Amino acid sequence: MEFKSQTPVVNDVRDITISKRGGNVLISFERKTPPQLWKMELVRDARGREQHSFAQVARLLLRHTYLPKAQVDIAGSSYFGGKEDQLVLCAGKAGDIHIWDRDSAALLHYIRPQTFGGDLTCVAWNHSTDEPFMFATGSHDGTVRIWTTPAGDRSSEAIRDEGEPHRCSMW
C-alpha cells in the first residue's frame, strides 16, 4: 500500500473521521486546537495514467474550523452526528459539549458543564437509533451518560442549554 496525497495541518492530529458518504474529513487535534472539516476530492492523477487510465489521487481542501464560544481543552476526538452526518460534536474536558452544523459551522448547541460526575473524556453519536438526537459522553469518574432531547419519558434528569431542553441518563 502506498500513500497518494499529503496535506500539512496546523497541529498534532489526534483523530481523523471520514463521513459516511466519504466527501468530508473531520480532523481532531491535540490540546486546545478546534476541529476542522476538510473536503476530500478525488482528482485524476496525471502521473499514474501510464499504469492506469483511471488513476486518481485524493486532495484535501479546508472547509471550516469549528470555533467554540471560548477556548476549550478538547477531550478526545470530534465526531459527525445526525442521520446524514450533518452535525459535528466535541466535548471539552471541563464537561462542556459543543454541537455545530457541519456545512455552515454555526454553533447550534452549547451544553454547559454539569455539576455531576468528573471531567469528560469522550463523546460519541448514536448512529443506530431512530432517535433524531442521541449521543453519549464518558467521564473520568467511570460514568457513561446518554443524551437525548426530551420525549414523553420524564424519568431522567432534565438538562437545559441556552434554553434548549436535553435529557441525560446515567449508566
CATH of 13-170, one of 3.40.50.850, 3.40.50.720, 3.30.365.10, 2.130.10.10: 2.130.10.10
pLDDT at 153: 43
- Between CA 158 and CA 171 the distance in angstroms is 15
Residue written as cell 458543564? 113
pLDDT at 89: 94
Q: Can you say how many angstroms the Cα of residue 2 is from the centroid of all Cα atoms in its chain?
A: 28
Predicted TM-score (pTM) of the model is: 0.76
- Between CA 19 and CA 49 the distance in angstroms is 28
- The helix/strand/coil state of 48 is helix
Q: What confidence tens digit (pLDDT) does each residue in 141-155 have?
A: 888 888 887 765 433
pLDDT at 101: 96
- The helix/strand/coil state of 124 is strand
Q: What confidence tens digit (pLDDT) does each residue in 16-57 have?
A: 999 988 899 999 998 788 999 999 988 877 665 566 666 778
Q: What is the overall mean pLDDT for the chain?
A: 79
Number of other residues whose CB lies within 10 A of the CB of residue 157: 13
Query: pLDDT band at residue 71, thresholds of 50, 70 and 90?
Result: confident
